[in-house]
Amino acid sequence: MMADIILVIHLLYVSFVIGGLGAIWLGACFRWQWIRNFWFRMIHLIAIALVAAESIFGVVCPLTEWENRLRQSNGGYQTSFMQHWIHKILFYHAAEEVFTVIYVLFTLLVTASLFFVRPAKP
């Protein structure tokens, strides 16, 4: 069960990174003030920059590693209903370089959004 909890946290992290950028762009169009919150924007940038840095340096995502260890220590790699569906959403088969390029480009988009949709001063 702990492995499933970590998997849900992983999904929430990914949702924050992807959904956060979408919210920033939509918020700019609809003039939502909360998307200009300085701390939200910095945490959002750090979240994707961390993923890009891990990928560049070949570091396995700690959440993925933690989940895998928990599943293996529980008598083997057993698949739960939740794991089955969340893994289909989160994990894709492609070369590591493809993911690195995607993460770096997404980090650049988030960084560019700081200039196009400026956050408020803290």
pTM of the predicted model, to two decimals? Answer: 0.85
Tokens of 98: 């493809």
**What token pair was written down for 95?**
């070369």
Q: Report CA torsion sign: 65, 59, 42, 103.
A: negative
Residue 10 · residue 99 · CB < 8 Å: no
> pLDDT digit string (tens) for 7-65?
899 999 999 999 999 999 999 999 999 999 999 999 999 999 999 999 999 999 999 89
Q: What gap in Å lies between CA 12 and CA 31, rounded to an integer?
A: 25
The per-residue pLDDT for range 64-102, each reduced to its tens digit, is: 899 888 878 866 656 665 676 677 777 777 888 998 999
Query: What tokens appear for 114 in the block?
Result: 């700081």
